[in-house]
Amino acid sequence: MVIGASASAGFNTRREAGRTVNLAKIIEHMVEVEHDEVLNTSSPLFFMNPRWMGTQAIRSAKEARATLVVAVDFLFWFGYGPKSEDRRMEDLEAGLKYLSELKCPVLLSRIPDMKASVGKMLSPRQVPRPATLKGLNERIDAWAAEHKNIILVPMAEFLNDLRAGKAVKVAKISYPEGSIRTLLQRDELHPTLEGMVALMALSLFKLCERHKELSQDDFEMDPQVVKKRVIAAVRRGKKPEDKTPAKNKKDS
């Protein structure tokens, strides 16, 4: 199951694909073996009330008996938003408490530095101070170390490399220096369709590292291949549909 905010919900991917493509749909095109349905509860409205949206997402995951939860941007709005620095830390503790209810593997990211989006999508009041952001991520690291089902994925680090103009590699694809526009939208906040696939590939690498029973061969990790699959499916009108969580059903 995918839980989280607008990045997972596929904000503005309609411009590339012709329809909004969320992370759950992308995962369906990456998994090469038989698997449970990939459910989606991510929402572009998560920022409006992260505590309420967070509790609803966790409840859905528990009711669906999810076998894997993809929560790469789940914590973002617990740290960002128009609130005091103390409130950011309080909200993060709430978000971590919600996540602690999950016992299945959870793919989670540290909170990235997105100040470059100020004036484009974010306002200055929504962005944590550098010291606060450092404290938030140190807390996430410490909490994750205490919860063996939590798998930290390098989303924040990946974004830092992109912003620094560094070359990055995902699967067999090497992105040269200055590839930020290929993977990140002009609002400096949301990933492109290819960027979403790249992020998910990095997450699946970490999942396979932790769970040796899984093989990287079980997934198509090439962002460009998956992007083509997604767009082709949309054009055929055969895209994987969103599945709404159902009680007492084992899903991922």
pLDDT over 90 (residue 173): no
Mention the CATH class of domain 6-236: alpha beta
Map out the domains of the chain as residue ranges: 6-236
Annotate the chain with three-state secondary structure: CECCCHHHHCCCCHHHHCCCCCHHHHHHHHECCCCCCCCECCCCCHHHCHHHHHHHHHHHHHHCCCCCEEECCCCHHHHCCCCCHHHHHHHHHHHHHHHCCCCCCEEEECCCCCHHHECCCECHHHCCCHHHHHHHHHHHHHHHHHCCCEEEECHHHHHHHHHCCCCEEECCEEECCCCHHHHECCCCCCECHHHHHHHHHHHHHHHHHHCCCCCHHHECCCHHHHHHHHHHHHHHCCCCCCCCCCCCCCCC
pLDDT over 50 (residue 250): no
Confidence of residue 252 (pLDDT cuts 50, 70, 90): low
**What pTM was estimated for this model as a whole?**
0.91
Give the per-residue pLDDT at 247. Answer: 43
Write out pLDDT tens, residues 20-55: 999 999 999 999 999 998 999 999 999 999 999 999
